[in-house]
Chain A
Amino acid sequence: MQYLPNVIFVILLIAGIGFFVKNVSKLKRNIFLGKEESLTDNKPQRWKNMAMIALGQSKMVVRPIAGALHIIVYVGFVIINIEVLEIILDGIFGTHRMFAVLGPVYDFLIGSFEILALLVIIAVVLFWTRRNVIKLKRFFKPEMEGWPKNDGNLILYIELVLMILFLTMNGADYQLQQMGAAHYVQAGAFPISSMIAPVFEGMSISSLVLLERAAWWLHIAGILFFLNYLYYSKHLHILLAFPNTYYGKLTPKGQFKNLQSVTDEVKMMMDPDADPYAEPAEDAAVPDKFGASDVQDLSWVQLLNAYTCTECGRCTSECPANQTGKKLSPRKIMMDTRDRLEEVGKNIDANNGEFKDDGKQLLNDYITPEELWACTSCNACVQACPISIDPLSIIMDMRQYLVMEQSAAPTDLNNMMGNIENNGAPWPFNQMDRLNWSKES
């Protein structure tokens, strides 16, 4: 019986981490439903980008208020989680404050965790205020209705509860230390929770122990819950921001990829030695589909982008089309891509690992041509993303599908392309008149 708490703890830990690992493998499977894309080049630059953008939050501070608050929550969570290591070890071995042997170092650690916890609480409250009281415009776009809105608030509530539990646990512990309760060694500095400790005055040792234990268990259970909540929420960015910034685009933003299959075709057309009547080889591969109409046509990095998006909406608020009331929202492009990818993933799970055609696709069922055609390819969304997501590349791939597979360009654009084809300019001017300007006064 003595070891019952330890056993329960280990079971909880294994279940929590096990379930998380299971979801991670599903996540990986879904991401790699995307097309292969080799991004093994320029490793030093990639590591640097990850260090600067994800670890260093360099693009968060472009918006100073949100940036500063975010850094508090980020640093708070990363550092306070050192404490989780102690909690886990204590839980497994049935010890209490195992790291107390570190002496003054421990005091410093616990003290700074507490200050950070308070700062996190303040930041979370301010974040909540921005979403629910000030009602910042970018949180109230059509794509944010329903689950995305609740998800955003829920994350803030969970973070708040975790921090309160942490401080309650410490406050009760501090009070027990003052009372000289057995097992509660004098350890740690409690600059914040010592302030709430007076609330516990007059409580018996046994009820304080109960309170401290309850907060301890709920705190670790809450962390394990949060870990597993990630997969179902926009909050995956706390993990995926790192690979996403590593695999982010390194070439100039204006450089769009040239399609190799088209290059091969064009080269063959230009080759004077090519046999125009040649039959395709017996074993010739089916020609690539041009562009993207569904998630499997996108590259795995674009799908990683979709899971990484935390729906902050900086892209959408910078988008010229969105600012002027068009339907396009780069954030919605990312959210739709993820939703469709999840749907495809569930379809595969339900059909023994095979995707069964469900009569749906990303194009039309999620993203409409009207949204795609509103894009000016200005790269404002790409620039705005604090973690190197590229909504523009998805928009362009889908336009490519519309034009090259469906010939479904707007009439004006068909005219423009017809002109380029016929006379080498987007307008109907004769190529032979190209130098006339030099003779006009």
Chain B
Amino acid sequence: MNDILTVNGLNKSYGNFSLKDVTFSLPEGCITGFIGVNGAGKTTTLRTLLGLTSKMSGNIQFFGLDMDKNERQIKDRIGIVLDDGCFYDELSLAEMKSVISSAYTSWSEQDFKRYMDMFSLDPRQKINTLSKGMKMKYALALALSHNAELLIMDEPTSGLDPLIRSQLLKTLIEYMKNGGKGVFFSTHITSDLDKIADMLIMIDNGRIVFQEEKDTLLDTYRIVKGDSRSLSTDVRKLFLSISETDFGFTGITKQISEVRSYIPDVMVERPTIEDIMLGNIGGEK
């Protein structure tokens, strides 16, 4: 499988926040979720990838092409959805489209019409009259109407109701079926990723914590519940994080067989992506 995006040693300083040696790659044919808590560096990473903020060092390649040397060509092949729409509010949907469409060499008016109909959007409507969900649908219609090979989205589901989120996720699956080479989207709503992601990349405090296939990740980690008295110092070291109450402990581990060898009668559960994310951010041990 070819990588459609490779990022190597990306560094960027932003006030008192910095991206530190960010390195990851997106394999072709995958929906990749970029997870992390608020302020972890998701948006900064995406913006730096797209050249919206300058990088201090590092190498970014889309489709095997260097971003520094082929920016226009690369952007012509990418669909972008930024958080909260990012439009001129006083324009109508048709007017905004007429501006954006001029930027792309393979704009498809037919595709745009199809998405506008699918999302029940009226081209004559003013952008400032759209709800957050409608703005997101419109952004998606724009991003998917120029035969984009890769779709990059920054927090697309944030603040949307479950119905619109489910519509959006369905559209992404359809896009991949219709020849899309990849979707890369940042989110802190991990339940959406449970449904559609193939690959997960986690960032925390400007550093990549892991890049893993979702299924492998869910198979690797386990939630363990048991009596706090059985937690020796050696056992505690086997956990990524542990929370304790008067009734017992709940911890997350990647070494379930070792934990079982120390405490055979613990209760073991399969974690969600959110459990894994929170476990990696850390907790009391």
On whether the two chains bind one another, the answer is no
Residues on A facing B (Cβ under 8 Å): none
